[in-house]
Structure 1
């Protein structure tokens, strides 16, 4: 059987959220993601490279794996994230290979944004 290019790769991320509209507003404003609605309880997001979904089937569960986004301009990403309503829980810091910051979204999920610059 031939394998697709997606075999054994992360294909989709799904987050349980309290309010799909609020999540759309936040991620659209902070990162420019686009969205496709599939009824009142599900919305797919697309960041231009990876797709995932917001669902109200279940309560938000902050914690678990850390989702890390990339930004060419880390300071601009941090500013946009704050303006969109995020709480910065770890301001920009250096680590081997680059710099990053962590934030929590409106449902309490902690994510990070990193840059090689």
Structure 2
């Protein structure tokens, strides 16, 4: 995730949106030109963006309808994971580390996949 001011982060609020793109350069150019988003590359397969009211990223891959990954922020990732499981959600990627923090991914009762991250 991008380096964010912790005061902006709200517990269990949607905070990050992740897209797939088969051409990251094209995606960066489009969103920079349209909305002024600023990009930070994390290797050839991922670029993060920051805008006035949204943060997110583009991972290299074939875009698929419905493939945007909604990511929530948590101050206590284990407590949030427990709440997801207790509510009937299914963990599809257990907690893992990445540059900038940790996250897990789950599906809700309708099968939608979301993620939760922490610093």
TM range (shorter): 0.3 to 0.5
Per the normalisation by structure 1, the TM-score is 0.47
Which structure has more strand as a fraction of its residues? 2
